[in-house]
Chain A
């Protein structure tokens, strides 16, 4: 059966500055990121015939295409579930290009989450399910919903705040090496972490991602075409989405095993179609809207056993030189929170050898989307 394995490659990446507040509109930022990615690839906008983004993206295909002068589009898709859709935008384009539905695909995300409204403050668009079972009781924000799972995780497996700090620190240390990161000049100490204000106990300020204005994009073409592009190709080796049976999103309290989430489902498919294993991953970009998602994802994607994700973070394992360097641009916690798209571009940078925190000789990278919601993941190789 012909699959997508190494059939396509990311050949261009682009991004805007990241800041708490940028003056330009989301639409303008989207255009800038897309044009930057196409320029990086050396491909004319008129050659683009495929697009993919998130359902939460405010700028639609019509606006993007007419603004930056794309060609006739023959494939466009949007993926749901917020940050769970990040890697699926690349996966959809990889599938489209591999099957001939498009030849040049662009995935993007533009968001003014830094200066714009917080989604959870909108009380008029509460979905009847599952919000009726949670919001009246004051479980209002994603931090509260994930905090509930985090507390249970800590209780069952002996995970501590120091484990969550290990995650926050690794991301911050990488951001301190990345001039584009919002936290570039802001080191984090254990003292700062342990004395910071609570957001939703057991999660403190530093367990939560940044609030960012910014946009990113990447360009996907066939492996054959990629050889003629300006940049070293980064191949999409395997890709998967994951929505487990009886899953309930971030309020996943209503099945037999709430601590086994979408990562496990995506991982089974991802590794089934890959030529390598978790042991062969040189560097990872793990979705980190909240620190507890990292130990959960480490378990889900098979880097360690059930309940071992917290202990895995010990001894500098997530730092450069450690067992699994991750979020090498700083991640959502310390570079920028743009629904995980910066994790995709950072994965590409690592395999090009151009990261600001380069893992020597990195040849394989796992990129994941949000754990705790219907998710997606890709394996990249060079």
Chain B
């Protein structure tokens, strides 16, 4: 009955990220010349202006940088799950690279699966991939 959740609207710069994500890999664009990571992806390196880039595999480990718990009014598909969490994760190997996502209980679990009152800034998280090709985050049990 409800509409589906939104899927990423791809552009030339972002398409490789989603292609790797569909294969279960978290890769971030890096400059092929100076090596600096950059996100969101873009055609040219803001550090050395090189147009060469590569997609570097990341460990998938990070920490919760911030989070919100949206409540209605929302798009119908999201309202049906509210309150849910949306988080920003900073990657362990590159803290200035931050990804928006959802903290869930298991790969493929819905946006509202993790209790909002248990989310903490600084919590260690690990990327997982559900069925939709979107990266999700679970608490990292090794911490």
Decide yes or no: A132 and B69 within 8 Å by CB, A155-B121, A201-B83 being known contacts: no
| Contact B88–A129 (Cβ < 8 Å) | no
Known pairs A132-B10, A151-B68, A254-B97 / 11 extra A-B pairs, C-beta < 8 Å: A129-B14, A132-B9, A133-B40, A137-B101, A137-B111, A138-B5, A138-B84, A139-B100, A144-B86, A198-B83, A256-B96
Interface string of B114-127 (1 = CB under 8 A from A): 00100001000000
Q: How far is the CB of A177 from chain B (nearest CB, A)?
A: 30
Could you tell me which residues of chain A, from 133 to 170, have a CB within 8 Å of some CB in chain B?
133-141, 143-144, 147-149, 151-152, 155
Q: Does A194 contact B (CB under 8 A)?
A: no
Q: How far is the CB of B20 from chain A (nearest CB, A)?
A: 14
Decide yes or no: A200 and B68 within 8 Å by CB, A133-B99, A138-B111, A144-B86 being known contacts: yes
Contacts of B78 in A (CB 8 A): 138, 140
Contacts of A141 in B (CB 8 A): 70, 74
| Contact B101–A201 (Cβ < 8 Å) | no
In the assembled complex, the Cα of A255 lies from the Cα of B70 at a distance in Å of 24
In the assembled complex, the Cα of A113 lies from the Cα of B109 at a distance in Å of 36
A-B contact pairs, 6 of them (CB 8 A): A128-B9, A132-B9, A132-B14, A139-B70, A143-B70, A198-B71
Q: Does B73 contact A (CB under 8 A)?
A: yes
| Contact A138–B70 (Cβ < 8 Å) | yes
Interface string of A101-144 (1 = CB under 8 A from B): 00000000000000000100101001111111111111111011
Contacts of A254 in B (CB 8 A): 39-40, 96-98
| Contact B100–A133 (Cβ < 8 Å) | yes
| Contact B66–A152 (Cβ < 8 Å) | yes
Contacts of A143 in B (CB 8 A): 70
Among B7, B67, B69, the residue within 8 A (CB) of A136 is: B7
Among A131, A144, A152, A256, the residue within 8 A (CB) of B70 is: A144
| Contact B14–A253 (Cβ < 8 Å) | no
Chain B contact surface mostly: loop
Contacts of B101 in A (CB 8 A): 137
Could you tell me which A residues sit within 8 Å of B by CB distance? 118, 121, 123, 126-141, 143-144, 147-149, 151-152, 155, 197-203, 246, 248, 251, 253-256
In the assembled complex, the Cα of A226 lies from the Cα of B134 at a distance in Å of 59
Among B66, B81, B86, B97, the residue within 8 A (CB) of A149 is: B66
User: Quick one: which of B83, B86, B99, B134 has the most chain A CB within 10 A?
Assistant: B86
- Of chain A, the residue at the smallest CB distance from B8 is A132
| Contact A128–B14 (Cβ < 8 Å) | yes
In the assembled complex, the Cα of A126 lies from the Cα of B8 at a distance in Å of 9
In the assembled complex, the Cα of A121 lies from the Cα of B75 at a distance in Å of 7
Interface string of B6-28 (1 = CB under 8 A from A): 11111101100010000000000
Contacts of B116 in A (CB 8 A): 201
Contacts of B97 in A (CB 8 A): 254
